[in-house]
């Protein structure tokens, strides 16, 4: 009978720990704020600009939506890195930023971006995404991409 009680307690503990992990109980990067930058003339190819911040202590990153032949690209940049998230017919995922859109030296950006994680995130979802879904995916997957 005592063994049954111990086993029951272990099962309950396991369920609680599993539920905490499944609900992102560790919310280090789950709290973020996305703000649209308005009243800014950016040209024909740039469709929108947002800032993404995870806390008040950190400098926010900039997300620039650019229209392309394949669909849309969301160029995420800061002072130290740049990465592009593309929404195409193949789905939504990471790719390198086009040189003509780049403002950060390639050596610095490559040192900050995790190459293996970039490959893993090349297709985050095969589904089409709208702007809000794309921004939410970027906000959730970007921290894993940084060294």
Say yes or no: 105 and 94 in one domain: yes
Cα dihedral 128, 131, 132, 133, rounded to 10, equals: 20
Residue that wins the pLDDT comparison between 90 and 74: 74
Q: Are residues 106 and 86 located together in one domain of the fold?
A: yes
CA dist 133 and 138 (Å) reads 9
Same domain, 35 and 51: yes
Number of other CB atoms surrounding residue 26 within 10 Å: 9
- pLDDT tens across 22-68, in order? 434 344 446 888 878 876 665 667 888 999 998 877 888 999 999 99
**Which residues share a beta bridge with 73?**
66, 86
Residues 95 and 129 in one domain: yes
**Which ranges of the chain does DSSP label H, i.e. alpha helix?**
2-22, 106-112, 115-120, 131-145
Shared domain for 24 and 40, answered yes or no, is no
Domains in the chain, number: 2
3 shares its domain with 66? no
Domain span at residue 6 reads: 1-29
pLDDT digits (tens, 9 = 90+) for 108-118: 998 999 999 99
Residues 40 and 110 in one domain: yes
């Amino acid at each position: 009978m005592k063994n049954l009680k111990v086993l029951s307690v272990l099962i309950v503990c396991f369920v609680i720990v599993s539920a905490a992990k499944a609900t992102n109980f560790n919310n280090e990067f789950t709290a973020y704020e996305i703000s649209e930058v308005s009243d800014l003339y950016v040209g024909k190819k740039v469709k929108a600009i947002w800032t993404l911040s995870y806390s008040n202590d950190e400098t926010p990153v900039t997300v620039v939506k650019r229209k392309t032949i394949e669909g849309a690209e969301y160029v995420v940049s800061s002072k130290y890195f740049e990465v592009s998230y593309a929404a195409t017919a193949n789905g939504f995922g990471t790719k390198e930023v086009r040189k003509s859109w780049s403002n950060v030296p390639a050596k610095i950006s490559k040192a900050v971006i995790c190459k293996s994680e970039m490959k893993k995130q090349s297709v985050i979802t095969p589904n089409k995404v709208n702007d809000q879904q794309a921004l939410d995916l970027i906000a959730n997957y970007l921290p894993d991409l940084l060294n």
